[in-house]
Structure 1
Amino acid sequence: MDSEFAIEFTRIFLACFYTFVAAFYIVRLSRKSTDGKNLVFSGEKYSATWWNHLLFRWFRVAIWAACLIRVFFPSFDQFLGVLQVLHHWPLIVLGNVLLIAGFVATVLVHKSMGHLWRSGIDPQGPSNLKTDSYFQFSRNPMFVSVALAQLGFFLAFPSVFSLICLLLGWAALHRQILAEEQHLSAHFRYQYQNYRKRVPRWL
């Protein structure tokens, strides 16, 4: 394998991958709970969690659009600030692997949460604190998976654009974690305090 083949393969792969991810999240986020309630909670307008949700939505659209444009207009890369020093096939392949691994891990965590899954902070929930399955290794396995996929995107397409997405994405994840920790601490008190002592925030 050479870098040129990896670059062109990944150009098409990223467009297909993010089209699939977009479809997955459109279906997932449009679902209701079994009792018909909304499962998406952006938070109070202009709050930290509201900005996090808005940031993630815009970046998902921006990444998807950029990847689609790159397929039809390869010269568009020059506007995204490709980092040539990292644009070599071993890192590109590693990025693709991390991207897939992060998405698969995210889906698995989604599934393990079952009816407890929410996007954002449900003011009335959750009904119980989940500490088993993936949550016995990390308090935020979903965010670990997303962070892994974000790193994968940067390596698969190393550029100023993907670096900005990576840094702002990780910052938004951290801010969301802090907000959720505050909510769970108030909601479960001593149970969550004990859980925090046993299990790390990330890994």
Structure 2
Amino acid sequence: MIRSHLLTLTYCTQRIKTITGNVEGIYEFTRLYLAIFYTFVALFYTCKIIIVKKSSGHEQVFPGQRFCVSWWNHLLFRLFRATIWMVCVFRLIFPNLDEYLGMFAAMLNVPVMFAGNILLTCGFLTTIIIHVSMGSQWRSGVDPQGPNSLITSGFFRFSRNPMFVAIGVSQLGFFLALPSIFSLLCLIIGIVSLYRQALVEEAHLAQVHPDDYAHYSAKTRRWF
């Protein structure tokens, strides 16, 4: 009987160590992955904007007039994207930084953080695919001179704002990968900014292509 209890206790102890080790392992992996991931994101967008502008000879980023809705959306989104990048890099160098992020201890488990990494990666890979499919027609913000025509094929067959959906999924993934007050705040502000920007861009398209956009929006959902 005593031996049986000892074996059970030993087994439970080993299981606890295994689970704890797995959590610590994915936690440290995610710490490294987030730093590398957002560094790559920053390089990707910087290089894309420079290369496309140089090859086309046209501006690619249109934040809008100062203090307009689109301008504020771009400012907030850039600010939080830069903040996320810096936090992820600095927490790799200074692990104790996590103490100030307001971590949700109950969510620090393997399934949640693993799902976060997957959503984060899939969301960004989808944005890259959409970027490539749009080619030189890609713009950030509202181009007052365009677009010359609507894109209604590919991902745009299923959503009027597939890029924003993918970014939103990636933002949700970040929250799950780093469950904290900080990442929740980033998620809320990111989703609100995407929603407000979608309204601005849809209004512009409805003005430039009233008939085509009315037909397109009638049969295609805003999100998914």
Q: In the TM superposition, what is the alpha-carbon distance from 1:30 to its structure 2 partner?
A: 2.2
Which consecutive aligned stretches of 4+ in structure 1 deviate over 3 angstroms post-superposition? none
How many residue pairs were aligned? Answer: 203
Distance 2:55 2:45 in 1: 18
Matches within 5 A, 1:94-133: 94-133=115-154
Bigger helix fraction: 2
Matches within 5 A, 1:1-203: 2-31=22-51, 32=53, 34-203=55-224
Q: In the TM superposition, what is the alpha-carbon distance from 1:25 to its structure 2 partner?
A: 1.0
TM-score, length-scaled by structure 2: 0.88
**1:65-104 deviation per Cα after TM superposition (whole angstroms, max 9, x unaligned):** 1001111111100111111111111110000000100000
Distance 1:90 1:51 in 2: 36
Instruction: Indicate if the aligned counterparts of 1:33 and 1:39 stay in contact, CA closer than 8 A.
Output: no
Q: In the TM superposition, what is the alpha-carbon distance from 1:115 to its structure 2 partner?
A: 1.7
* CA-based RMSD: 1.0
Q: In the TM superposition, what is the alpha-carbon distance from 1:143 to its structure 2 partner?
A: 0.5
Q: In the TM superposition, what is the alpha-carbon distance from 1:152 to its structure 2 partner?
A: 0.4
Distance 2:164 2:45 in 1: 15
Q: Which has the larger radius of gyration?
A: 2
Unaligned stretches of 5+ in structure 1?
A: none
Instruction: Indicate if the aligned counterparts of 2:56 and 2:136 stay in contact, CA closer than 8 A.
Output: no
Identical columns (%): 48
